Amino acid sequence: MTGIPLVDDREIAVGLRRLSARRSRLRLILTLAMIGVYFGFMVLFAFDKPLLGQLIAPGLTLSIFLGPLVIIAGCALSLIYVIWSQRVFDRQVGGGQP
């Protein structure tokens, strides 16, 4: 079963609309965060290669430090979204979803 609550449509409408607005806002923020992190890195890569090429430790340049960090940030932002959705959205909307 998909998560259709067994309550009257009008009853859930207000709560649902509020929840849906919160969720849309979170989606927008996380999307902008991902775009910001990625293109922040890509702008440095595209326009300031010497800065990214600086050695910050033996065997470690700024680019090698930040590059994998972008990958990890992608996974972390996804995790934040999924945890929020489960704790807040699914609990209020889905009821008994597994």
Residues lying near another protein in the complex (CB under 8 A): 2-5, 9, 16, 20, 27, 30-31, 34-35, 37-39, 41-43, 45-47, 49, 52-53, 55, 57-61, 63-64, 67-68, 70-72, 74-75, 77-79, 81-82, 85, 90, 93-94, 97
Cα–Cα distance for residue pair 72/53, rounded to 1 Å: 20
* Tokens (6 digits) for 54: 């600086």
Ramachandran area for residue 7 (φ above 0: left; ψ -120 to 50: alpha; else beta):
beta
Distance of CA 17 to the CA centre of its chain: 21
With respect to another protein, which residue has the nearer C-beta, 11 or 55? 55
Q: How far is the CB of 97 from another protein (least distance, A)?
A: 6
Q: How far is the CB of 95 from another protein (least distance, A)?
A: 11
